[in-house]
Chain A
Amino acid sequence: MYLFFLTAPTWFSKLPILSDRIDPMVMDYVVWPLVQIGALLFVVLTLIAYLTLAERKISAWIQVRIGPNRVGPEGLLQPLADGIKLLLKEDLIPLKADKEIFVISPIIAMVAALVALAVIPWGAAWGTISNIDIGLLFILAVSSFGVLGIILGGWASNSKYSLLGALRSAAQMVSYEVAMGLALIGALMFTKTLALQDMVISQERLQIWNILFQPVGFLIYLISGVAETNRAPFDLPEAESELVAGYHTEYSGFRFSLFFIAEYANMLIVSAIAVTVFLGGWYLPGLSYLFAPGSTLFVLASIGVFGLKTLALLYLFFWLRWSLPRYRYDQLMELSWKWMIPAALANIVLTASFLVLGQELGLIVSQNNSLKFSIGGYVFLISTAFIITVPLIWIILGQINQRSRDFNLREVQPLPMNRKVNKNN
């Protein structure tokens, strides 16, 4: 059944140049995937280049500036100019650096980021490259592999700032991977599958986005995702005011740009997974009424829907980065271990309890390895998620962590003024 997604669409197999000369099997399993991969890499890398421009433009608007507007119309060729500049720059390797590791680590970071793109369900049917059974686990595994690039790069640079950045990165990734994985489990209980395309299909079948069942899971995933991609307010591994540039202090030219591309690709992946798991992927209510499901137009529209949702989340990333100060290293750990992970665990327990309760009440039917809800079931699950799970977790964790947030309990009061001047002071 999964092989279905690998077959080429009919219009492609019937292209006159190809269909006469190539065996249909070769067509489906070699030519079409290569076409997909080529298209994906082209689109994603261009998108990443333009994300840098988008970030600069958006930050400029937030900061009452104009932003890049010199290269090309409205600065639209800026990414090209940046790319050429980075390619032409001197490629420095510090004298005392560990050369082999220094060279290979940006490649690891970049490759790990790009490999994860393979399993993301960009659209319905042939809009996806592959739909493997372990999709979500694959993404988690590969994205933690990317950390290796950062740690090795920081270590191999043989610079103290890089080393500190790498250490921070390692600690941060380990902590937030846990919270991230736990946050996804709640949603898995509804989709009953790890294959990403099937998760979207299950949301399409239930005609609802998982975020309505899993508000806590979504929030935790999103926060962990920001931390996972080293973006502000969690950009400690490269905190410029503390560690100059963190793990890539010693990198220049194209090697630096590989790290840079990896960061943006990771952002894209985190957003794409959040969209797939929580925001319904390419499913939009009413889309199937506009276009016949399975038709070429439907697939293209689904890709568009997925893209728009992802871009909306990416905007959130930019927005956060330019409005919040940076957390401190230990506060970041505290946030993860004292808030995120307990909240994710509580979310799992509560979600599972409500699912079982719903089945006992007859509101939910488990059938053929998938769930079916009556209208009462929808109401029950959504209302328990928002009315019980969210406040309960908030209150319990707030009570437990009371002491650690004492600093915040002090109210902002107007300063005292004009005490009598004691001139002996």
Chain B
Amino acid sequence: MTEITDITHPEIDTNEMILSMGPQHPSTHGVLRVVLKLDGETVVDLDCEIGYLHRGVEKICEHRNYQMIAPYFDRTDYIAAVSNGLCYVETVEKSLALEIPLRAQYLRVILTELNRLSSHLLWLATHALDIGAVTVFLWAFREREEILKIFENFFGARLTCHAFRIGGMTYDAYDGFQSQVKEFCDRFPKCLEDYEIMLNTNRIWLSRTVGIGIISADAAIDIGLTGPPLRGSGIEWDIRKAHPYECYADLEFDIPYGENGDTYDRYLVRMEEMRQSRRIILQALEKLPDGPIMAPKAPKVVKPPIGEYYHSIESPKGELGIYLVSDGSTQPSRLRIRPPSFINLQALRQMSIGHLVADVVAIIGTLDIVLGEIDR
């Protein structure tokens, strides 16, 4: 930790103030505790303390059947439950070398991208709220509500949605699913414009985000950032393009990336990603084929062959990976989650030092962390 000495007035005892932000604080997005070392309001050093939400998901997984594990993943990143579920079932399918029917693949993509939209909307809402734009918060929640209604119809749950099974889907799309999603997609660009009117060229928003929390491309790679924080720094890396899974290879979409690696670029990247997600959903709706939703060869008792498997997907927050060690039994020998939020959070210290307390709040917001995923 850096020490500060006041050279002009050595007789004055100047101490840094240690400010404990969280675990109960309005803008640490859950139960993150950030210990700030402040000189006035400038951050000299900071330390993150996590673990307040630890539930031992990885250990629990070692004592459950493969089918029983799946719902636990809805509770890691509870903002993006669908993506988490997708990552798990795909890992197991990879270990079993299962081929998924095309209809199930398209449905999975539609739901995952809807989930990306809802996750990004929640990020926008809380990020704007942290910087003080309260109205955007409620506007974004209005649109998120529409998505949650679709989820409720599809999964029967709004937050911990769960409908992916090893080998396909449990349920097929309900009557009117396509039209409801289509209707939402038609309305959505107008809503995005509304947010951008409030923020994009707003002087205060610019001065709060431009040049704040800069992280260079090299540093971002060193830390292992993924998702929008990495793309904001100018590196075009998206697992949907680099290692396509499901039917992403058949769909057209662009990967936005920033230039300066500051909070504003990350904001722009996520806003553009929402547009691209909408594009993917519309294409997938159009191409949605008929057919079965479960793989005919899907086993009743899942016993992956002995070996180690790693699979990762592009979750809304970055690369979500699962490392699975199978001993050939009905329970995994070891299951390790690579949560994007946990690794993205490591950049907080580097990004925040030298900025003010108010910027730390903005930077935590721009990293888009979810503590359920960090602590697992």
Contact = CB atoms under 8 A, between A and B. Distances in A.
Nearest to B254: A417
A241 B208 contact: no
B133 A421 contact: no
Interface in A382-425: 407-408, 410, 412, 415-419, 421-423, 425
Nearest to B262: A407
- Where chain B touches its partner, the secondary structure class is helix
Q: 10 smallest A-B Cβ distances: which pairs?
A: A326-B132, A63-B138, A417-B254, A241-B27, A325-B133, A325-B132, A415-B256, A241-B130, A325-B131, A407-B210
Interface string B258-289: 11000001001100100000000000000000
Given A63-B135, A421-B242, 15 more contacts: A64-B139, A160-B17, A164-B41, A242-B361, A244-B26, A322-B134, A322-B135, A325-B128, A325-B131, A325-B208, A326-B358, A407-B206, A415-B256, A415-B272, A417-B257
Interface stretch (A9-17, A197-205, A327-335): A327-335
Interface residues of A, number: 41
Contacts of A161: 19
21 contacts: A63-B138, A164-B41, A241-B129, A241-B130, A242-B27, A324-B132, A324-B202, A325-B202, A326-B131, A326-B132, A328-B208, A328-B356, A410-B210, A415-B265, A415-B269, A415-B272, A416-B257, A417-B254, A417-B255, A417-B256, A423-B242
Determine the interface band of chain B, counting residues with CB < 8 A from chain A: 35 or more
Interface of B: 17, 19, 25-27, 41, 128-135, 137-139, 142, 198-208, 210-211, 221, 235-237, 241-242, 254-259, 265, 268-269, 272, 356-359, 361
Contacts of A331: 207-208
Given A164-B357, A240-B26, A241-B130, A418 B207 contact: no
Nearest to B28: A241
A239 interface: yes
B236 A239 contact: no
A64 B137 CA distance: 11
B132 A239 contact: yes
A323 B198 contact: yes
Given A160-B19, A415-B256, A328 B135 contact: no
A18 interface: no
B206 A415 contact: no
A66 to B, nearest CB: 12
A143 B365 CA distance: 36
A135 interface: no
Interface string A308-336: 00000000000000111111111100000
Nearest to B238: A421
Interface string A327-364: 11111000000000000000000000000000000000
B358 A242 contact: yes
A141 interface: no
A418 B255 contact: yes
A425 B235 contact: yes
A407 B254 contact: no
Contacts of B359: 328
A158 B17 CA distance: 13
Contacts of A410: 210
B204 A327 contact: yes
A232 interface: yes
Contacts of B27: 241-242
